[in-house]
Amino acid sequence: MMQRMGLSMDALSDVQNVIIKTSSKEITIEEPEVAVMEMQGQKIFQVTGGMISEKAVERKITIPEEDVRLVADQTSKSPEEARKALEQCEGDLAKAILLLQS
């Protein structure tokens, strides 16, 4: 019946872990059971079971020196204060300038 509808389902064997990455965290599922369903050319992965662990992802932002100089010049603040504001605002120039002006 499933094949007549264009649906096939298979299990993936020997899966060690599944990692789901978002911008803020990484979710690891150890020794899961994974099924792959294919329907109308689309693949659907179903992940069940296993030990789940989450860890926060630390984003390291590189702040260019020219951005530091620009913020420092626009706000009449020191380059150190400008860099700190840019790091706090994740590199957003406008937010950093507004932060230092308030």
| Average pLDDT of the segment spanning 5-28 | 90
Indicate the DSSP class of residue 60.
P
Closest by CA position to 30, among listed 17, 11, 45, 19: 17
What mean pLDDT is reported for the chain?
90
Residue ranges and CATH numbers for the domains of the chain are 7-56 (2.20.70.30), 65-101 (1.10.8)
Give the span between the Cα atoms of 57 and 2, in whole angstroms: 40
Report helix, strand or coil for 33: strand
Q: Inform me whether the pLDDT recorded for 1 exceeds 70.
A: no
Which residue shows structure tokens 């059971």? 33
- State the pLDDT at residue 13: 93
The pTM assigned to this predicted structure is 0.54
Token pair in block for residue 90: 């994740």
Handedness of CA 53, 23, 36, 17 (dihedral sign): negative
| Average pLDDT of the segment spanning 3-30 | 89
Give the span between the Cα atoms of 63 and 65, in whole angstroms: 6
Give tens-digit pLDDT for 59-96.
Answer: 778 899 999 999 999 999 999 999 999 999 989 999 99
